[in-house]
Amino acid sequence: MRKLAPLVAMSLLVACVSLPAAWADDCDTSPTGVERTDYPLYFTVPAGLMPDPRFDGRPAQIVVHRVQPVYALGKCPSVVDRAAVLVHGRVGSGPDTFDLLYPAPGGGLLSVQEALARAGIDTFAPNLLGYAPSTTFSDGLDDPGNASLRAYESDGRCAHPEGCDRTTASNVFELDNQGRSLLTNPLADNRRSHSSSLRFAGTDVWVRDIGQVVDDAIARARPADRRVTLVGFSLGANRVGRALYTPKHPDIAAKVDRAAFLAPIFGGPLDEPQDGLVTFPLTLADRASVVDAPTSMPPDREQICGGYRVPGVDAQTWAQMMSQETVGRSWGGNKAGNPAGLRRLPTFATFGFNTQVAGALGPPTLVMQGLDDDVPPGLGVQSAPMLYDALPDAMTNKVLVQVDCATHGFMAERAHATVKAALIEWITASTFGDEPSGRFVVSASGVVTRTN
């Protein structure tokens, strides 16, 4: 057992507002600040990529949120250029997941991207297709009539003139979104038929996005080895894992030097299922279901882990989500005191990241998860050990880090410093606490224990 000295020291370094320049050489060896930019990557939807062929051949864009290091005097030639692409999960977009602009306990911001940039790592967090402000399509996720309708009868009949729906997971893609009071505003209390009656995407839709962003990040950041680190959070881990599966996507895997999976969603079929799929493209969520439920703990753990949450962070997370929303920010409200603003989320089939895929991964891999993670319910905290155990035995750099008093949203909790410091060390050295491999638990006070 030991104190988390290297990680804590690194987190303190990252929190500094500026760092001294190498004046003698008239250049900077460390960043003096950061710069934020948002820009689009344009493309045409390839035929057969999306479940609904109506979108084939359409122009589209994904918007990338970049936070890069700035060197006031110019970067010294000895500084190694590094880049990371960070992939969000089911609910958040790039900026509200990885660049949370809220004060962190002890100073600085909760932002993971800023922490990495101040450590000299150029970061790129895309808003994947279907996540505003990237393309959502006027007859796709911009149409409130594409939210779910009531269920079919038990005998398969539909008793409603506007139509009926099926879902694969009622707690994720719930039925009758159109009938909920939150939708009074866009639908004026009238359910209506869908303009698209298929799920919006599958994992490979977003793997294509990841490949495009990886190429763009290499072109812009020019990392020394012409490769980037891929980081996936929550369901983003599923998308990153699929992207790194060489039999399916060798072109992407060859451009990745390291991988990190944060609070991963893991398991499921290798390829996209064809039966029993969601029959609507749009899911809608309010603030309570987006920023409150995923970070809750049982009452007994709340008492033990008192202070694990950062007060006020939920409001900031929701505000940043709504700032990204181009349509949903005006939806909802008007009933039962609910304020306007709904998060539009694409429906999809989850596949492509299981033990077979993990067993074929090549890059050094970091897996991190909070010990109080319960997303998805019933599996939660088991996901990270399952993923770690499935990694190849021959992989020389692989680490599992479990953080006590931390939930699925640990990047916005007291554990944020541990997550940031571990990511920085992994991206720069492929180690955790100077160790290239092993299982570790980090206590709420920062004490690291190796468990194998």
Sequence-distant (6+) residues with CB within 8 A of 161 are: none
Please report the pLDDT score of residue 29 as a whole number.
96
Question: How far separated are the first and last CA of the chain, in Å rounded?
Answer: 12
Tell me, what's the pLDDT at 179? 85
Per DSSP, 152 falls in state: P
Three-class DSSP category at 12: helix
Measured CA to CA, the distance from residue 452 to residue 450 in angstroms comes to 6
289 vs 383: which has the higher pLDDT: 383
Report the run of H or E that residue 35 belongs to, with start and end: strand 33-44
- pLDDT number for residue 169: 85
Angle at 322 (CA atoms; ends 320, 328), nearest 5 degrees: 160
Q: Cα separations (Å) of 123 from 85, 96, 97, 128, 245?
A: 6, 14, 13, 15, 22
Q: Give the SS3 label for residue 63.
A: strand
Does 313 map to a domain?
no
Task: Give me the residue label for tokens 């710069």.
Answer: 35
Percent of the chain with pLDDT over 90: 77
Domain at 98, CATH number:
3.40.50.1820
pLDDT of 81-134, one tens digit each?
Answer: 999 999 999 999 999 999 999 999 989 999 999 999 999 999 999 999 999 999
Question: Can you give the pLDDT at residue 299?
Answer: 82
Whether 321 has a pLDDT exceeding 60, the answer reads yes
**pLDDT score, position 376:** 87
Tell whether 360 is covered by a domain: yes
* Span 53-74, average pLDDT: 97
User: Between 5 and 167, whose confidence is greater?
Assistant: 167
- Closest to 325 measured CA to CA, from 59, 141, 65: 141
Going by C-alpha positions, the residue among 49, 81, 42, 85 that lies closest to residue 66 is 85
Residue 65 lies in a domain: yes
**pLDDT the model gives residue 196:** 96
- The whole-chain average pLDDT of the chain stands at 90
Position 47 in a domain: yes
pLDDT score of 13: 40
Domain assignment of residue 344, yes or no? no
Q: Which residues contact 242 (CB under 8 A, 6 or more apart)?
A: 203, 204, 207, 248, 249, 351, 352, 353, 357
Q: 10 Å Cβ neighbour count for 393?
A: 6
Q: How many C-beta atoms surround the C-beta of residue 72 within 10 A?
A: 12
- Whether residue 421 lies inside any domain: the answer is yes
21 in a structural domain: yes
Instruction: Please give the pLDDT value at position 12.
Output: 37
Number of domains in the chain: 1
Closest by CA position to 91, among listed 300, 317, 374, 373: 317
Q: Do 251 and 343 form a contact (C-beta atoms < 8 A)?
A: no
Which residues, at least 6 apart from 400, have a Cβ–Cβ distance to it below 8 Å?
Answer: 367, 368, 384, 385, 388, 438, 439, 440
Q: For residue 283, what is the enclosing H or E element?
A: strand 282-285
pLDDT of amino acid 289 = 80
pLDDT at 23 over 50: no
Give the integer Cα–Cα distance in Å for 142 and 130.
10
Q: What are the pLDDT digits (tens) for 224-256? A: 999 999 999 999 999 999 999 999 999 999 999
Alpha helices in 338-394 (DSSP H): 355-358, 383-390
Contact 221, 259 (CB under 8 A): no
Question: Which string of DSSP letters, residue by residue, matches 359-413?
Answer: TT--S-EEEEEETT--SSTTTGGGHHHHHHHHS-TT-SSEEEEEETT--TTGGGB
Long-range CB contacts for residues 152-160, cutoff 8 Å, separation at least 24: 160/191
Residue 86's φ and ψ, nearest 5 degrees, are: -115, 125
pLDDT at 11 over 80: no
| Nearest-angstrom CA–CA distance, 294 and 318 | 13
Location of structure tokens 């992994």: 426
Is the pLDDT higher at 349 or at 67?
67
pLDDT at 106: 86
336 — pLDDT class (breaks 50, 70, 90): low
Backbone angles phi, psi at 367, to 5 degrees: -120, 125
Phi, psi of 243 (to 5 degrees): -65, -30
Residue 219: per-residue pLDDT: 98
Residue with tokens 């000299």: 120
**Least-confidence region, from 6-20, 51-65, 273-287, 347-361:** 6-20
User: Is beta strand 365-370 parallel, antiparallel or unpaired with respect to 256-262?
Assistant: parallel
Residue 347: is its pLDDT beyond 70? yes
What was the pLDDT predicted at 67?
Answer: 98
Domain residue limits at 417: 2-136+200-273+349-450
Element (H, E) at 321: helix 313-324
pLDDT digits (tens, 9 = 90+) for 136-187: 999 999 999 999 999 999 999 999 999 999 998 888 999 999 887 555 556 7
Q: Which two tokens stand for residue 180?
A: 């909920």
Rg (CA), the chain: 22
Question: Which residues, listed in sequence order, are joined to residue 259 by a DSSP beta bridge?
Answer: 230, 365
Q: Read off the pLDDT band of 286 (50, 70, 90).
A: confident
Is the Cβ–Cβ distance between 116 and 427 less than 8 Å? yes
Residue 14 has pLDDT above 60, yes or no: no
Within a domain: 173:
no
Kindly state the tokens that stand for 126.
């895309």
Nearest to 15 by CA among 416, 449, 431: 416
